[in-house]
Amino acid sequence: MTVPNSKILVDSIEGYDPVGPVNVSYGATIPPGAVFQINGNADFSPGIVTIGTYNGGNVNATGIVTAASFVGDSSGFTNLPVINDSKAIAFTLLG
Per residue in 34-43, pLDDT (tens digit) is 777 777 767 7
5 located within any domain = no
4 located within any domain = no
Q: How many separate domains does the chain show?
A: 1
3-state secondary structure 13-62: CCCCCCCCCCCCCCCEECCCCCEEECCCCEECCCCCEECCEEECCCEECC
Q: Confidence band (pLDDT; 50, 70, 90) for 83? A: confident
19 located within any domain = no
22 located within any domain = no
pTM across the whole model: 0.39
7 located within any domain = no
75 located within any domain = yes
Whole-number mean pLDDT of the chain? 74
pLDDT in tens, 50-75: 777 777 767 777 777 777 777 777 77
pLDDT the model gives residue 46? 66
pLDDT the model gives residue 45? 66
Which residue segment(s) compose the domain that 88 sits in? 28-94
pLDDT the model gives residue 91? 81
